[in-house]
Amino acid sequence: MTNSPKPAIEVSDLSFAYGEEEVLSSVTFDVAKNTLCALVGPNGSGKSTLVKCLTGLLKGFSGTAKVNCSHEHKSHSIGYVPQRLFISERVPVSVFEAVSTGRILGSRKWFRLNRDDKNIIEHSIDSVGLSSHINCRIDELSGGQQQRLLIAKALASEPEVLILDEPTAGVDSQSQELFRSVISHTIEEHDTTVFLVSHELSAVADVVDQILVLKKSILFDGTPKELSKHGVSLGLHEHDLPFWLERFQTEDLEGAK
């Protein structure tokens, strides 16, 4: 009898509160390696808090939130893209320079890039469709391009697990289409596990392997097809997914598999 592969992400009985307000309650799930797991839920359901627990940005929770990486330093193997990128006016940093910081911080402790590093940086920029902007300043990019820049920066560190918190919120349709290609490429060509938090999943609906519905605790853990049996379609509810999920209670989603 062979042992099952260790999951890329393991969360067990995770609870967290801001003062007296409990935000997460006994959250438990696993995410298999080299898959795309989407986390959805209504506004205020605890999604961003869960991400912060996974990335180590929040402490003081009970239970466990583990990201299993082969690198001895976990932070070197986790790529994290937050919700928003705030660019100050007239930032004198190019796209290449911004993405290169992901390479430096992710794999090195010095600031000299070798040819392999430069190739990886250029490949990361190309994979998000920004090659023609490689020498542009980042404050000259559109909102969608800035979000893709953040993804390229994360990819440059060659993460084993890529955590994306609302990466396509408010961006144009072209950026969303490119985003799907980036995700597929990252999983298939770089053996990366992607943990995606988003209200807008229509662009990646056909490549999602696992979906988690969170409303302080996990209401559902399964495939999009299994979730659709309960009237929730990632494609049909492209714009009102959080409001649609607000109507569901635990008993509506349990036992779907």
- Cα 65 from Cα 54, distance rounded (Å): 6
Q: What are residue 22's DSSP bridge partners?
A: 17
pLDDT of residue 255: 45
As given in the structure block, the two tokens for residue 148 are 């893709």
Q: At what angle do helices 143-156 and 115-127 cross, to 10 degrees?
A: 140
pLDDT of residue 256: 43
pLDDT of residue 247: 63
State pTM to two decimals.
0.85
pLDDT of residue 1: 46
Give the mean pLDDT per block of 10 residues along the chain (257 residues): 78 95 96 95 88 91 90 68 67 89 62 85 90 92 84 89 83 73 87 88 86 92 86 60 60 46
Phi, psi of 216 (to 5 degrees): 75, -40
pLDDT of residue 32: 96
pLDDT of residue 105: 55
Per-domain residue ranges for the chain? 1-70+160-257, 80-159
DSSP string computed for 39-99: EE-STTSSHHHHHHHHHTS----EEEEEE--SSSSGGGSEEEE-S-----TT---BHHHHH
Cβ proximity of 239 and 233 under 8 Å: no
- Element (DSSP H or E) covering residue 224: helix 224-228
Cα 248 to chain centroid distance, Å, stands at 24
Strand ranges inside the chain, DSSP E: 9-18, 21-31, 36-40, 62-67, 78-81, 161-165, 193-197, 210-215, 217-222
The 8-class DSSP code of residue 6 comes to P
How many residues belong to the chain?
Answer: 257
C-alpha R_g of the chain: 18
- Cα 53 from Cα 65, distance rounded (Å): 7
Classify 212 as helix, strand or coil: strand
Neighbours of 127 (CB within 10 A): 21
As given in the structure block, the two tokens for residue 57 are 């940005």
pLDDT of residue 74: 52
Q: Answer whether CATH 1.10.10.10 is correct for domain 1-70+160-257.
A: no
